[in-house]
Amino acid sequence: MADSQRNLTIADIARLAGVGVGTASRALNNAPGVSAATRQRVLAVADQHAYVISPDASGLAAGRTGRIGLVVPHIDRWFFGTMVGEIESVLRAAGLDVLLYDVGGLDDRREFFEQLPARKKVDAVVVVAFPVEEAERQRLTLLGVHIVAAGGQHAVYPHVCIDDYVAGRQAVDHLISLGHRSIGMIEAVDPEQPVRPSGRTAAYHRALADAGIAPDPDLVVTTNWGGINGAEAMARLLSLSHRPTAVYAHSDEVAAGAMRTIRRTGLRIPEDISIVGIDDHPMAELLDLTTVHQPVAEQGRAAAGLVLDLLRNDTPPADQAITLPTHLVVRRSTTSVPPTPDPS
């Protein structure tokens, strides 16, 4: 362990390798203009002394940071965690570092963009699952930092997402195809996020209409995101005089909560009531919950790829948008409509 001595600089490496600092820099950065032999020598010396370029100095001199900001609402939720993990993975493989910003609430987020901690700290920022206001975006652009969105809605900057409307249709159409005519919806909103028209909600209404089923306002309840809220929402649905034979939940977590209520009430799933969610959360498998699978990891990977592109060609690839497909996963929480027990 001879490397306890003062930290080596690129100049030391250059000297040890018998080259100039310029050459050493080029060699270490895998830049052109160095003969293969020289490069080998420099790399060997560097390796031997466990030397690595100081990112700070490098960043200062080169004007790039080699860092990407990752802004995400609730890192403790499966969806975001998975997304982040995947993005980090491909970015790191590309030699970039990821600066994490867990910005939960609306205010936090505003403040984040306000202070622009990202300023001079990152080359680009990836925003997961929520829209960036136009003013914010322009500011970032002005500062020269690229911006990419993952798992959110359509936007004017490069982004990757799923089609919420299609996903919703896959869920609701499944229920309809099983013969259900009385379908409840548990609409989930995030109180911390700006309200926006949800494709998942539109899908419900449109699907019913297409099937010629008359809308019944009583059958749609709105609640906050999160399992426990789903449980409470389900209770409201069950208290209806004409309770639905099937329920469409905006997410698996909400569905899980609803399932608890159903089970506690003594009703059986799916015999007495069918339920379908969206996401294909790992928990769905354990719950035997029918759901619509959305490729979270793939979205993350695609978003990271977008960042890499942006950094490579400095030219913004014209508002690129990637929409990934979803698909229904049938498990044991849905079945055809039960024969009406009550003699009408």
Q: Which among a copy of itself, DNA, none contacts residue 28 (Cβ within 5 to 8 A by kind)?
A: DNA
Residue among 104 and 316 whose Cβ is closer to a copy of itself: 104
Residue among 27 and 287 whose Cβ is closer to a copy of itself: 287
- Answer yes or no whether residue 2 interacts with a copy of itself by CB under 8 A: no
Copy the structure tokens of residue 132. Answer: 């960036």
Binding window for a copy of itself (CB under 8 A); candidates: 171-179, 280-288, 301-309, 315-323: 280-288
Residue among 51 and 157 whose Cβ is closer to DNA: 51
Binding window for a copy of itself (CB under 8 A); candidates: 9-17, 55-63, 175-183, 203-211: 55-63
- Answer yes or no whether residue 1 interacts with a copy of itself by CB under 8 A: yes
Number of neighbours of residue 299 by Cβ within 10 angstroms: 27
CB of 64 to DNA, least distance (A): 8
Copy the structure tokens of residue 239. Answer: 């208290």
Number of neighbours of residue 179 by Cβ within 10 angstroms: 13
Task: Using alpha carbons, select from 302, 313, 325 the residue that is nearest to residue 158.
Answer: 302
Residue among 14 and 83 whose Cβ is closer to DNA: 14
Residue among 107 and 210 whose Cβ is closer to a copy of itself: 107
3-state class of 53 per DSSP? coil
Q: Using a CB cutoff of 8 Å and minimum separation of 24, what contacts does 49-58 make?
A: 49/3, 49/8, 49/12, 49/13, 49/16, 50/3, 51/8, 51/12, 51/13, 53/10, 53/28, 53/29, 54/9, 55/97
Of these, 16, 26, 71, 88, which contacts a copy of itself (CB under 8 A)? 88
User: Could you tell me the strand order of the sheet in which 183-189 lies?
Assistant: 220-224, 183-189, 246-249, 274-279, 290-293, 327-329
Residue among 80 and 248 whose Cβ is closer to a copy of itself: 80
- Answer yes or no whether residue 223 interacts with DNA by CB under 7 A: no
Helix (H) or strand (E) holding 328: strand 327-329
- Answer yes or no whether residue 170 interacts with a copy of itself by CB under 8 A: no
- Answer yes or no whether residue 53 interacts with DNA by CB under 7 A: yes
Residue among 9 and 222 whose Cβ is closer to DNA: 9
Draw the binding track, 95-134, toward a copy of itself (x: CB under 8 A; -: no contact): --xxxxxx------------xxx-xxx-------------
Binding window for DNA (CB under 7 A); candidates: 33-41, 230-238, 281-289, 327-335: 33-41
- Answer yes or no whether residue 31 interacts with DNA by CB under 7 A: yes
Draw the binding track, 212-231, toward a copy of itself (x: CB under 8 A; -: no contact): ---------------xx--x
Burial 77-98 (b: 16+ CB within 10 A, else e): bebbebbbebbbebbeeeebeb
User: Angle 317-319-324 (CA atoms, 0-180°, nearest 5)?
Assistant: 100
Residue among 227 and 338 whose Cβ is closer to a copy of itself: 227
What's the distance, CA 179 to chain centroid? 34
Number of neighbours of residue 178 by Cβ within 10 angstroms: 19
Of these, 21, 38, 43, 81, which contacts a copy of itself (CB under 8 A)? 81
- Answer yes or no whether residue 40 interacts with DNA by CB under 7 A: no
Strand partners for 324: 162
- Answer yes or no whether residue 9 interacts with DNA by CB under 7 A: yes
Q: Check if the beta carbon of residue 213 is closer than 8 Å to that of residue 173.
A: no
